[in-house]
Structure 1
Amino acid sequence: MSYILVTGSSRGIGAAAHDALAQRGVKVIGHATRGGDEGRIAADFRDPLAAQILWEEAMARSGGDIVAVVNNAGLFEANRLDRSDIEWLDAWEDTLRINLTAAAQLSRFAVRHWQERGTGGRLVHVASRAAYRGDSPAHWHYAAAKGGMVAMHKSIARAYAKEGVLSFAVTPGFTDTAMAGDYLESRGGAGLLADIPLGRVATPEEIASIITFCALDAPPSMTGAVIDANGASFVR
């Protein structure tokens, strides 16, 4: 049976996507920063070797039959301008490595694998509304990483569609996850909802349903698409 690899699947959107795919009868290989979590593979993407270790372990578990990768792992931590130079740079590099570089590494491994097999496959990148409208003054790094993810996704879609490698991106706005909760509180909590015409943030299950659609059901002609899910807080 074919497998789908989902990064950052121990909580929030990733956990919801893991469950939604499993409910469709898909074999899911999960990932978490630390081990001991329901069989998920441990890999800390701050380590440049972690993505390769994750890929190799996922390949071993699946017998080489990975048909899709969901790049969901993310880090969302404030990085104030008044930090020391080295603290600011360390936070920048950690966020870029976790949110973008690891996704690029895994996408590269997957594309090369599908090319060798001649089977094609699907990539689903969980980016953010921040890729288009930016983010707070303390989150340059997050917006830059998600903008890079969208650009990478479009490049992959254009380059490999003829080989059956399909790429999709999802750009959520605020979502009711542990990662976003502290940020919402720091920006005024309920007051921030005034910027969302829907009147609420998205649920992880809503975003997971889009991920599942892209990974399993989206027609090939949709490759390259970026799907917004932000309650009309940013329309383009």
Structure 2
Amino acid sequence: MTHLTALVTGSSRGIGAAIAQSLRARGVQVIGHATRAVDPSTIAADLTDPTAPSSIWDQALERSGGRIDLLVNNAGLFQANPIALSDIEWLDNWEDTLRINLTAAAELSRLAVKHWLEGERGGRVVHIASRAAYRGDSPDHWHYAAAKAGMIGLHKTIARHYASKGIMSYAICPGFTDTAMADDYLASRGGPGLLADIPLGRVAQPEEIATMATFCALDAPESMTGAVLDANGASFVR
């Protein structure tokens, strides 16, 4: 098997950390990203900075010796944005969430696609979206749902237009997952009572999402490009 290198954003905890660990277990060189560096293999960058995606990409290319085979767009921001906030607060929260959850992913995807078009072989991008892309979210999370819906549109467009060039795109839509990012939200929506909406009776574990992401990155057939995989315990079925 050809040695592969992956760039995984938001890899310091939760789903991103589980994906990085899973890929490494398969022999993939993983270059991680986090807002703050947690180890020498992690690139530190704040995705609210418009220059961050290009800086992350350039550093990753340098560390990998000039070749990145896999991109996992996992970094995300999930914070409440009540409509009762002041206009400027609401807009600031909206723009921060879209920049981190959608715009940065789009910029990195663009750089990856250009890189693969210039190379001798293609590559794969895996987007960690959300069931909110299809189902919507709470009244305080318009911005999150909109960003994840945009990510699905981005994913489908990449799949449709670059498959013939060997560039494959896959997306995963988790529901509630047992991560630090979701803790406050779970508490605000009733905690254990929220499980009544999940037929499986529990939230997903990060390792489950990592298994799916690793499959998409390494094992999924090319004919699956453009697919969206759900992982929400049947709380939303399409």
Q: Normalising by the residue count of structure 2, what TM-score does the alignment of the two structures yield?
A: 0.98
Residues 31-64 of structure 1: per-residue CA shift (max 9 Å, x gap): 0011243530001100000000000000000011
- Check conservation: 1:21, 1:212, Cα contact below 8 A: yes
Task: Specify the alignment match of 1:231 in structure 2.
Answer: 233
**SS of 1:66's equivalent?**
coil
Match of 2:201 among 199, 202, 213: 199
Task: Specify the alignment match of 1:170 in structure 2.
Answer: 172
**SS of 1:171's equivalent?**
strand
Task: Specify the alignment match of 1:208 in structure 2.
Answer: 210
Q: Normalising by the residue count of structure 1, what TM-score does the alignment of the two structures yield?
A: 0.99
Task: Specify the alignment match of 1:124 in structure 2.
Answer: 126
CA distance in 2, matches of 1:6, 1:133: 26
Task: Specify the alignment match of 2:155 in structure 1.
Answer: 153
Runs (5+) with no aligned partner, structure 2: none
CA distance in 2, matches of 1:131, 1:36: 30
**SS of 1:86's equivalent?**
helix
1:151–1:90 Cα change, 3 Å: same
Structure 1 residue 227, shift from structure 2 partner: 0.2
Range with greater deviation from structure 2 (67-76 or 27-36): 27-36
Task: Specify the alignment match of 1:12 in structure 2.
Answer: 14
Amino acid at match of 2:62: A
CA distance in 1, matches of 2:62, 2:190: 46
Task: Specify the alignment match of 1:26 in structure 2.
Answer: 28
- Check conservation: 2:169, 2:225, Cα contact below 8 A: yes
- Check conservation: 1:5, 1:29, Cα contact below 8 A: yes
**SS of 2:69's equivalent?**
strand
- Check conservation: 2:155, 2:169, Cα contact below 8 A: yes
**SS of 1:118's equivalent?**
coil
Alignment pair present for 1:180 and 2:182: yes
Structure 1 residue 136, shift from structure 2 partner: 0.2
Runs (5+) with no aligned partner, structure 1: none
* Aligned residues: CA RMSD: 0.7
Match of 2:109 among 102, 107, 110: 107
1:190–1:111 Cα change, 3 Å: same
Structure 1 residue 24, shift from structure 2 partner: 0.7
